[in-house]
Amino acid sequence: MFGVRCFCLLLLSFNLINGLHPPSYIKPCSLSDPNLNDCALKSGIEALPHLLEGDKKYGIQTLNPYYVDLIEVNQGDLKVNLKKPVTTGLEKVTLKAVKIDTETKKMSINTLFHNIVVTGNYEISGKILILPIEGQGKLNITVVNGLFTYEFTIAKEIKNGVEYAKVTNDILLMDIERVFFNFENLFNGDKILGDQINKFLNENWQDVLNEAGGAAIEVLKGACKNSLNGLFLKVPYNELFLQ
């Protein structure tokens, strides 16, 4: 949930770099360029401000801020629903590296997010680490300096005799400096219990992330994969990847 659309837009920007009809703010790169990684990184950095503002022509939603209707997380005994969460701070993302192996069709994109803030309404029940947790109300989750790496392989799929690209074997890695949690109105507004749980979550944020982060990674990874395949399976392979 931390910046999921920004990953997808960065991935989309690279593939549009190699398209036959890229938007005016993206400078094309060639797969035969010996400095392809540098070219893709430079083009992505230049295109990023435009992509963050959205582009209806390419179906790109604005990220400044980013809205979704619902995020559901079910991890073991823990169930969390985030209703109409709003994410801010994505406009400060830094694209750090793009690596493409033209022989194996493996790609990776590294992005650094600074202060990402997620606010909205939550419902939570179950156990987190060793403690029971229950409540509904407002929440604030702040992620400080998160380095995200999305790695995937491009396969080919034939439809009606035409080759298309398809994302396979994808993984998402996160390296986060700090996370802060604040859940209002835990335990039906019991301030003492609520303050204790929030303190516990913030003192043990890394363990909380390790326990509940797997579900968040799957949400992020699935959204990126679906967004990319939405593009890949509509545009012929040879129009996305110039030789």
pLDDT of residue 223: 64
pLDDT-derived band of residue 18, with 50, 70 and 90 as boundaries? very low
Closest to 141 measured CA to CA, from 71, 61, 190, 60:
71
179 CA to centre of own chain: 16
Kindly list the structural domains of the chain, giving each domain's residue range(s) and its CATH number in brackets, ordered by start. Answer: 65-236 (3.15.10.30)
- Kindly tell me if the per-residue pLDDT of 14 is higher than 50: yes
The whole-number average pLDDT for the span 210-229 is 70
pLDDT of residue 60: 65
Residues near 188 by Cβ (< 8 Å), separated by ≥ 6?
A: 135
- Kindly tell me if the per-residue pLDDT of 13 is higher than 80: no
The whole-number average pLDDT for the span 13-30 is 59
Sign of the CA dihedral running 61, 180, 207, 120: negative
From residue 28, give the alpha-carbon distance in Å to each of 46, 160, 165.
12, 28, 19
pLDDT digits (tens, 9 = 90+) for 137-175: 999 999 899 898 989 998 888 888 888 878 899 998 889
pLDDT-derived band of residue 219, with 50, 70 and 90 as boundaries? low
pLDDT of residue 133: 95
pLDDT digits (tens, 9 = 90+) for 107-140: 898 989 888 888 999 999 999 888 999 999 999 9
Q: How far apart are the first and last CA of the chain?
A: 35
pLDDT-derived band of residue 195, with 50, 70 and 90 as boundaries? very high
Single pTM value for the model: 0.78
Range from 47-51, 64-68, 71-75, 104-108 that averages highest in pLDDT:
104-108
Cis peptide before 65 (omega within 30 of 0): yes
Ramachandran angles phi, psi of 157, nearest 5°: -130, 135
pLDDT-derived band of residue 2, with 50, 70 and 90 as boundaries? very low
- Kindly tell me if the per-residue pLDDT of 191 is higher than 90: yes
Residues near 6 by Cβ (< 8 Å), separated by ≥ 6?
A: 52, 63, 66, 90, 93, 111, 113
pLDDT of residue 19: 38
Q: Which residue has the tokens 């303050």?
A: 195
Q: Which two tokens stand for residue 132?
A: 């029971």
Which is higher by pLDDT, 241 or 196? 196
